[in-house]
Amino acid sequence: MRTLMSRPIALAVAALALSITAGCARKTGKNDLPYVARDVGTLYSAAKTRLDQGRFKEAAALFDEVERQHPYSIWARRAQLMSAYSNYSGRDYTSSIQSAQRFLQVHPGNRDAPYAYYLIALGYYEQISDVTRDQKITQQALDSLGELTRRYPNTRYAADARLKIDLVRDHLAGKEMEIGRFYESRGLWIAATMRFRKVVDDYQTTTHTPEALMRLTETYLALGVPDEAKKSAAVLGANYPGTQWYDRAYKLMRENPGIALAAVPPGQPIVPVQGATATPTRPGSNDVAPKDDRSAAPTPGNRTGT
């Protein structure tokens, strides 16, 4: 009797296991291309055709298929980088970054490595959000752009990266200013001062520096340290004498009894803010520098094309 009962149970368990396995297989392969063995030339050409047609997701999948079916061919290396470019073109920045990073892990010394670093930097750069949001991606963009310029300073990708670094730094300075203004509006003078000082110390070539110096003048006066306020106003007058920010700082200093602030003529030696490592050198305004228009990354060229 025990044998007769165990046989149906065993069959039921086996059927259940098969159904679960089949279900998992269908779920895993949902976003994958069905495996159809094709020669490397056919696969690569099909992927390149999809890319030219603007069907970026399909192109990336086919380039990945080249790597999967022919992992040891020279086409696999090219396809890996082209997959990253296809994903970037389709605005799938996470996949693009991952593909480029995988390429660098496998081929760190390849002649297309600068382009892979460039794609990673662009992937972060295109995701930069406005200053009201978290700026983790912005910092990652800055780090990636900086790594590209350090590793490959003489490439055309590094030249573009340097331009983008200026814009990213301006964006990060804008975030510091936004937080500083928030603290200042609530009378949190020390917290506000720290934010404005960070702009002057770390982002002094950005367009936010004049306002940061004026805000420092305000917060130092509120904290009861007029000497520091005077220094900030002097730096502002020496570097940005024709701006609205210097006019406001000068007015603030004149309105405070016992503080005499002579206008600082242009060209006079600059009085640095205490603790600053350098002094501002470029005139600017309080406007946030706009993020430049999105320009598609150039393809790796004939080395990675068909």
Average pLDDT on 93-110 reads 94
pLDDT tens, 212-252?
999 999 999 999 999 999 999 999 999 999 899 999 999 99
Confidence of residue 133 (pLDDT cuts 50, 70, 90): confident
Which top CATH class is 187-287?
A: mainly alpha
Residue 55, burial from CB neighbour count under 10 angstroms (0-12, 13-18, 19+):
middle
Q: What is the pLDDT of residue 67?
A: 85
- Give the pLDDT mean for 54-82: 90
| Range with lowest mean pLDDT among 17-21, 130-134, 141-145 | 17-21
What is the rounded average pLDDT of the residues 79-104?
A: 95
Statement: residue 258 has pLDDT above 50: yes
**Residue-level pLDDT at 103:** 94
Q: Which residue has the higher pLDDT, 8 or 65?
A: 65
Give me the pLDDT at residue 196, please: 97
Is residue 264's pLDDT more than 80? no
In the prediction, which pLDDT does 174 show?
95
Identify the CATH number of the domain defined by range 40-169: 1.25.40.10
Q: Given pLDDT bands bounded at 50, 70 and 90, which one contains residue 114?
A: very high
pLDDT confidence bin for 58, thresholds 50/70/90 = very high
Looking at the chain, the domain(s) classified CATH 1.25.40.10 span 40-169
Determine the average pLDDT of the residues in 14-23: 42
Give the pLDDT of residue 257: 63
Judged by average pLDDT, the poorest of 51-55, 130-134, 282-286 is: 282-286
Average pLDDT of the chain is 79
Confidence band of 32 (pLDDT split at 50, 70, 90)? low
Residue 126, pLDDT score: 95
